Amino acid sequence: MSDPLRALRPWESPEVTSWGRLPMNALDRRPGALSLDGDWRFQLLPAPDAPAHGVRSSQRVPGAWTVQGTDDLPQYTNFAMPWGEFPPASPAANPTGVYEREVDVPAEWAGRRIVLQVGAAGSVLLVHVDGRPVGVSKDSHLAAEFDLSGVVRPGGRAVLRLTVVKWSDASHLEDQDQWWHAGITRPVLLYATDPLRLADVTVRTRRDGTLRVDCQVRDAGGALPAGWYVTGELDGHLLTQDAEFERFKEEDGRVSDFLGEARLSTVVADARPWTTETPALYPLTVRLHRADGSVADTSHHRVGFRDVEIRGRDLLLNGERVYIRGVNRHDFHPLTGRTVSYEDMRADLVTLKRFGFNAIRTAHYPNDPSLLDLADELGFYVVDEANIEAHDHAHEIADDPRYLAAFVDRVSRMVLRDKNHPCVIIWSLGNESDYGANHDAAAGWVRRHDPTRPLQYEGAAKLDWAGPTVASDIACPMYAPLEDCVAHALSGRQTKPLIQCEYSHAMGNSNGTLADHWEAIESTPGLQGGFIWEFWDHGILQRVSDGRPAGRDGAGLYDHGVTAPGHRWAYGGDFGEAIHDGAFVADGVVFPDRTPKPVMFEHREIAAPVRLAYAGGELRVTNHQHFRGLEWLAAEWLLSLADGGTRTAPAELPRVPAGGSAVVPMPFTLPEEGGEAWLTLRVTTAGEEAWTPRGTEVCVPQVRLRAAARMTSATLPGPPVEVDEAGLLVHPLLTAAPVLSLWRTPTDNDELGGMALRWRAWRLDAPEREVLDVRRESAGVTVVAGYATLAGTVRHEQVFTRVGGGIRIEETAELPEGLADVPRVGSVFETVAGLDVLEWYGQGPWESYPDRSAGAPVGHHSLTVDELFTPYLRPQESGGRHGVRRFTLSAPDATGLTVTLDEPRQVSVTRYRAGDLAAATHHDELVARPGCVVHLDAAHRGLGTASCGPDTSPGHLVRAGTHRWSWTLRML
Which residues are annotated as catalytic?
A: 432, 502
Helix, coil or strand: residue 692: strand
Number of neighbours of residue 196 by Cβ within 10 angstroms:
20
Dist. CA 17–CA 412, nearest whole Å: 13
| Cα atoms in the Cβ-side hemisphere of radius 13 Å centred on 779 | 7
Query: Among 699, 664, 659, 696, which Cα is nearest to 681's?
Result: 699
Helix, coil or strand: residue 416: helix
Contact 636, 667 (CB under 8 A): no
Number of neighbours of residue 103 by Cβ within 10 angstroms:
17
Helices (H), 132-180: none
Dist. CA 132–CA 151, nearest whole Å: 8
| Torsions phi, psi for 251 (to 5 deg) | -70, -30
Number of neighbours of residue 812 by Cβ within 10 angstroms:
16
Query: Among 410, 465, 467, 412, which Cα is nearest to 433's?
Result: 410
Contact 767, 789 (CB under 8 A): yes
Instruction: Tell me the Ramachandran region of residue 749: left when phi exceeds 0, alpha when psi lies from -120 to 50, beta otherwise.
Output: alpha
Distances (CA, A) of 550 to 189, 541, 590, 682, 871: 27, 6, 20, 41, 20
Distances (CA, A) of 313 to 426, 435, 455, 474: 15, 23, 14, 9
Q: What are the residues whose beta carbons fall under 8 Å from the beta carbon of 60, sequence distance 6 or more?
A: 38, 39, 40, 68, 552
Residues, the chain: 972
| Burial (CB count within 10 angstroms: exposed 0-12, middle 13-18, buried 19+), residue 204 | middle
Helix, coil or strand: residue 625: coil
Q: What are the residues whose beta carbons fall under 8 Å from the beta carbon of 247, sequence distance 6 or more?
A: none
Dist. CA 922–CA 920, nearest whole Å: 6
Contact 605, 855 (CB under 8 A): yes
Dist. CA 972–CA 243, nearest whole Å: 86
Contact 5, 162 (CB under 8 A): no
Instruction: Tell me the Ramachandran region of residue 484: left when phi exceeds 0, alpha when psi lies from -120 to 50, beta otherwise.
Output: alpha
Dist. CA 302–CA 235, nearest whole Å: 10
> Alpha-carbon torsion 141, 949, 375, 440, what sign?
negative
Helix, coil or strand: residue 343: helix
Contact 885, 836 (CB under 8 A): no
- Chain centroid, CA 80 distance in Å: 22
Instruction: Tell me the Ramachandran region of residue 692: left when phi exceeds 0, alpha when psi lies from -120 to 50, beta otherwise.
Output: beta
